[in-house]
Structure 1
Amino acid sequence: MAWQVAVLLLLQRLSSAFAAAPMARPGCRSECGSVQIPYPFGFGDSSCFLDDFEITCKETTNGPKPFLGRSNLELPVDIDLVNGLLQVNHAIARDCYDRQGRSISYSGSRINLGSMKSVRFSDSRNKFVAIGCDTVGYLADMDYTIWTGCVSYCTNMSFVTNGTCSGIGCCETRTPKGVRAFSVVLRSYYNHTNCSSFSPCSYAFLANSSFMSFNALDYFLTFKNVTMMPVTLEWAVGNRTCEEAREEEGFACVAKNSECYSTNGPGYRCNCSPGYQGNPYLKGGCEDIDECKGPQKNQCMRDCINTPGSFYCTCPRGTRGDGRWDGSRCTPKFPYLDVVLGAGSGFLFLCASVSWLYWIVSKKRLIKLKEKFFQQNGGLLLQHHLSSSSDDGRNDSIMRIFTSEELQRATNNYDEDCIIGQGGFGTVYKGTLSDQRVVAIKKSKIAAKGEIEQFINEVVLLSTINHKNVVKLLGCCLETQVPLLVFEFMSNGTLSHHIHDQGRRGSLSLENRLRIAAEAAEALAYLHSSVSTPIIHRDVKSTNILLDDSYTAKISDFGTSRLVPFDRNCLTSLVRGTIGYLDPEYFQSGQFTDKSDVYSFGVVFIELLTGEKALSENKSEEHRSLVKHFISCMNEGRLCDILDDRIRHEGSMEQLMAVAELVERCIRLNGDERPTMKEVATELEGMRTFSNHPWVNEEIESLLAKPLLSEPAFYGAGNTTSGDNSSHSGLVPLNITR
């Protein structure tokens, strides 16, 4: 016992003799002002930092301050190596008005991480907040293709409750995952005229969730003076997992006694092993923790002896074991070796038995969990529907219920390389079934248990749809927490790719564009009027129109679709859809009809004719909204100015004007003035066959005789207006960007 204690004491002295592990590389500074900058971050020479983890130390009036890369994003606190976090400040967006509703000041907010590809905004630690009593706040990526936001409204300060941020005086929403750059945009419904006496300004920003707490009493005083908010960023090394990075040069976890772990996103991070602390990105960076100098020493009955990565508690003379109060305690020494070996063999047998029992229990638990999810997701109800269809002799459904193992094998256990699309209603994977069929597998989302019966009814109905221009639902899997839907695979991607992406513009001829429009119209007309229960899609856009091997158009993504009973002309719900395609009448009233799909189809049709996006933030104010620009060109007799070059050369003026007149009727503000999708499909088919019919000239003459439509860029609630366009009363333009 004496020699063991002597060895442990020697190890303790050796471990305490080492100097504190450095945080920066040799020859490099580890601090800028009062902020610690540990490697892989650094500033100065390029050898002081790894890859793109550069920090710039700038002299300011308040002394030296660190900034992220070459940007103006200040780091106010130390970089967190253990959790892979850092914090920067960004400007608050604000929008102020006087009592007459005139804009006093407006300042948006943009933040871009630029070349620092290893850094991204934390979706779990930040939230988007908008404050004000007449406020619409948006958070968008730099291309304005991904939008989120919320609305805050109140007419009396007494309605605002401290500590809440649910839409009265303050609203908040989660941050999209993987964002590296964003813009904050503010809007107002009534220019604060209803609340200018107590809330003349709107504010919006992205902020650390733990930092932001809403207090109505100091809101007006606080945000008049605050210009910056802290935002938490996550960082990781490279874009590979630990297993992949270990096989390559430049593996960052170089410290002895360090460990690598993969993050939820791309890349990996390093930590010192348990019992060690320091910087795992430097050689010799992880040093032993002397537990005997900390609170752990109180766990020992007698002496505490520090060891590399751990510590040891001694036992009284004549005993052995772990001398911790919460451990196995000290036991008398065994005089016979065979007794010790027998006890060890028994212990090993016990461990093997426990492991075998644990494996059996885990397998049974997994089976029960699958059964629970199957019932929770409506599996019994779906089986009842399928058996009823079989008993009635109906063979129009080829719906199949897949097992979770089948879809795991088809997607290589949902490998990220199999992801072919992501959106607000699920993630889509490309998979290959055991019969070599290539399919698209979508992880759907269900909001609440109360929607299970509706979800199953819609799945059964969609499985019976057998239209050449609707993506076929092949089956589903209900054994997972999130239901999985299996669709036929569309090899040529989205219509948006073929008309907008670099190198693809102008690739479709006029004939093909009219065909695609006609096929999409036929599909929507079928959904509106030919199925047993009509379906309104509610999210018709160019990214939801897919093309198969022969470039046949098919409608997809029914995540926001709703079934419409025959005795209902319209339904009311929360406004869902995509900005730029959203029916202004639906946006204002919350009531959607089949004419809402007609408007969205009209926007897609304009995309086909012009090759432009529905919403282009990088363009001037008058050209930002495609619908607004299109109507302006038609009213001014400049239709050719907006058409795609290939369309102008391939089509006759009579044909193009006839098509434009049809589009104009589809995007009218009053839904009653729009044609049905069946009428649109019929007219399109006629245009394709009889492009030079005499009626085209007659329609053009009538069309040119009067203005077509006021500007419908995007509409929200507003005061009723009067004028020549009486059918558009109650709708006022609301630009989505300033």
Structure 2
Amino acid sequence: MLLKSLICLFPWFILAAAAEASQAKPGCKDTCGNVSIPYPFGVGEPYCYQQSGLQLVCNESYNPPRLLYSNIPLVSISLSNGTMTVGLGVTYYCYNQAGQFLNGWTWTFTLNENYYFSDTRNKFTAIGCDTNAIMSDSSVAIFKSGCMSVCANERSIVEGSCSGIGCCQTAIPKDIDECLAPENPCEKICTNMLGSFKCSCPRDYIDEGEQDGKNCTPIQNRLPILQLALETARALAYLHSAPSRPIIHRDVKSANILLDDNFTAKVADFGISKLVQLDQTQMSTLVQGTLGYLDPEYYHTSQLTEKSDVFSFGVVLVELLTGEKPICSKRSQEERSLATYFPASLKENRLFQLVEPQIINEGKSAQIIAYSELAKRCLNWKSEKRPTMKEIAMELERLKRFQIHPWTPQQRNEESTSLLSEPSDLYSVELTSYTGNASGQYSMEVMLLNVPPR
């Protein structure tokens, strides 16, 4: 079975040439079955196509003949839109009523580096009950995406709906990775972008050359993590308590926290954020977010609340403290997620084995412990046990202003109560919808890279 008119491939560097010609070259095959073959694509002799990545095959053993790119059947080619519509096989797994595996098929294919999936013309879709579907490259090094559908029973499935019950959808990862090319000019870090790439500098460097990737200047003094965390928490607290329509960001992560030339944090990328009715505490929605930051309660129930942002922010707090990535394949399967690994390490009294040495040297142990406890509360799997962003901002404000002493449970309760009544201007912070490349702004994620292994 093939899903036709589903996957589109975009050859990004040939569109200008393609616009000048819409016919096959003289002496070259111009159709295969019902599909036209316009130049720069071609079949047969090298003269008929512009380069090897545009060579197609007409398999005449089928009736009618079938036009193929590698092992992928082509349905149509549109030079004006820069698209190829293809047919892909369906991956499936079948089980009997006892839950035992019967048979299945996993569809794999290889794309030339000149193509990427259209994120506007495609959706990765999975159909079934209690189905977890994953799409990735073969090494899971460049991209990975997926979704999960659940069913209470057959009556819970709504025909024609794909909201996570019996059917789920998510965006298709797109673009090729120009950073893998040996000729990219980046001196330090190369970040892949749609049809391009961006150069930046790693942790402890200021990026002064995003275009040519040169002149990465070392930062003399380390960025204060409390200040960055506080500014981000203030911004999210403002979003959650906006007087007109509160907003749930839904994709809080270090890559979406930008730093300007003064290292002021700005929350960015509101592409999947949700407006909330004033009297609404949660909403049912298609699960979206970033692996490693995604609230597990939201993932399993599709119920989005402001506490989903709190969980994601908890992961950012731990990243700032430890320099660890949210997902690390070098850790064991049980500890691969930082949101699981960090609380487990606290339980085993291994906190100071995780904290970056420079933070231990510059910070006070009581402050580090209090900060870690706050992060742990944010990462609670039960949303009702997580603090609000306003409470988090107040707690970070206290940690930043005062030298504290180790807490006892009674002291913590007393201080939490006083914080809620403490007057503070939490919301004097910039928000931005910036998602591209701009001088003087770079992601906080850059500061978390290249941490020496422990």
TM-score (norm 2): 0.56
Question: Which structure has the bigger radius of gyration?
Answer: 1
Letter in 1 for 2:54: E
Letter in 1 for 2:229: A
Alignment partner of 1:130: what SS?
Answer: strand
Partner of 1:521: 233
Gap change, CA 1:123 and 1:688, over 3 Å in 2: closer
Gap change, CA 1:128 and 1:30, over 3 Å in 2: same
Partner of 1:597: 309
Letter in 1 for 2:262: S
Residue 643 of structure 1, CA deviation: 4.5
- 5 Å-filtered alignment, 1:294-373, equals none
Partner of 2:380: 668
Letter in 2 for 1:550: N
- 5 Å-filtered alignment, 1:66-215, equals 68=69, 72-75=70-73, 86-101=84-99, 108-115=106-113, 117=114, 119-121=115-117, 128-137=124-133, 151=149, 153=151, 155-156=153-154, 164=160, 166=162, 171=167
Letter in 1 for 2:71: L
Residue 123 of structure 1, CA deviation: 5.9
Partner of 1:560: 273
Question: CA separation in 1, counterparts of 2:344 and 2:258?
Answer: 30
Alignment partner of 2:317: what SS?
Answer: helix
Gap change, CA 1:598 and 1:562, over 3 Å in 2: same
Question: CA separation in 2, counterparts of 1:158 and 1:24?
Answer: 56
Letter in 1 for 2:380: R
Letter in 1 for 2:273: T
- Residues 570-594 of structure 1: CA distance to partner in whole angstroms, max 9, x if unpaired? 3434356524434334455555555
- 5 Å-filtered alignment, 1:263-662, equals 511-526=223-238, 532=243, 535-539=246-250, 540-556=252-268, 560-562=273-275, 565=278, 570-574=281-285, 578-579=289-290, 580-588=292-300, 593-615=305-327, 621-639=333-351, 642-644=354-356, 647=359, 650-651=362-363, 655-662=367-374
Gap change, CA 1:166 and 1:58, over 3 Å in 2: closer
Alignment partner of 1:675: what SS?
Answer: coil
- Residues 554-579 of structure 1: CA distance to partner in whole angstroms, max 9, x if unpaired? 345566354564xx583434356524
Residue 515 of structure 1, CA deviation: 0.9
Partner of 1:201: none
Letter in 1 for 2:88: H
Question: CA separation in 2, counterparts of 1:511 and 1:610?
Answer: 14
Partner of 2:442: none
Question: CA separation in 1, counterparts of 2:76 and 2:240?
Answer: 58
Alignment partner of 2:72: what SS?
Answer: coil
Letter in 1 for 2:343: I
Letter in 1 for 2:394: T
Letter in 2 for 1:113: L
Q: Is the 8 A contact 2:366 2:406 kept in 1?
A: no
Letter in 2 for 1:54: L
Residue 517 of structure 1, CA deviation: 0.2
Question: CA separation in 2, counterparts of 1:103 and 1:148?
Answer: 21
- Residues 490-529 of structure 1: CA distance to partner in whole angstroms, max 9, x if unpaired? xx9xx9x999x9999x979665222100222233445556
Residue identity over aligned pairs, in percent, reads: 34
Alignment partner of 2:71: what SS?
Answer: coil
Alignment partner of 2:93: what SS?
Answer: strand
Partner of 1:298: none
Question: CA separation in 2, counterparts of 1:114 and 1:102?
Answer: 38
Q: Is the 8 A contact 1:570 1:591 kept in 2?
A: no
Question: CA separation in 2, counterparts of 1:683 and 1:571?
Answer: 25
Letter in 2 for 1:41: F
Letter in 1 for 2:91: A
Letter in 1 for 2:93: D
Gap change, CA 1:44 and 1:640, over 3 Å in 2: farther
Partner of 1:327: none
- Residues 341-377 of structure 1: CA distance to partner in whole angstroms, max 9, x if unpaired? xxxxxxxxxxxxxxxxxxxxxxxxxxxxxxxxxxxxx
Gap change, CA 1:103 and 1:138, over 3 Å in 2: same
Q: Is the 8 A contact 2:230 2:396 kept in 1?
A: yes
Question: CA separation in 2, counterparts of 1:537 and 1:86?
Answer: 37
Letter in 2 for 1:685: E
Aligned-pair Cα RMSD in Å: 5.4
Residue 50 of structure 1, CA deviation: 1.1
TM-score (norm 1): 0.38
Compare the two structures and name the one with the higher helix fraction: 1
Q: Is the 8 A contact 2:282 2:304 kept in 1?
A: yes
Question: CA separation in 2, counterparts of 1:114 and 1:645?
Answer: 44
Question: CA separation in 1, counterparts of 2:311 and 2:374?
Answer: 11
Higher relative contact order (CA closer than 8 Å, sequence separation 6+): 2
Residue of structure 2 aligned with 1:695, choices 406, 421, 424: 406
Give the gaps of 5 or more residues in structure 2. 1-21, 178-192, 195-199, 413-454
Residue 602 of structure 1, CA deviation: 0.8
Q: Is the 8 A contact 2:163 2:285 kept in 1?
A: no
Alignment partner of 1:90: what SS?
Answer: strand
Gap change, CA 1:73 and 1:152, over 3 Å in 2: farther
Residue 663 of structure 1, CA deviation: 0.7
Residue 631 of structure 1, CA deviation: 2.7
Letter in 2 for 1:92: V
- Residues 24-54 of structure 1: CA distance to partner in whole angstroms, max 9, x if unpaired? 466x777999988654224677554214543
Residue 538 of structure 1, CA deviation: 4.1
Partner of 2:188: none
Question: CA separation in 1, counterparts of 2:133 and 2:81?
Answer: 31
Question: CA separation in 1, counterparts of 2:345 and 2:103?
Answer: 32
- 5 Å-filtered alignment, 1:654-733, equals 655-690=367-402, 693-695=404-406
Residue 147 of structure 1, CA deviation: 5.0
Question: CA separation in 1, counterparts of 2:306 and 2:35?
Answer: 59
- Residues 447-483 of structure 1: CA distance to partner in whole angstroms, max 9, x if unpaired? xxxxxxxxxxxxxxxxxxxxxxxxxxxxxxxxxxxxx
Alignment partner of 2:224: what SS?
Answer: helix
Instruction: State yes or no: 1:55 paired with 2:51.
Output: no
Number of aligned residue pairs = 354
Gap change, CA 1:648 and 1:109, over 3 Å in 2: farther
Residue 152 of structure 1, CA deviation: 6.7
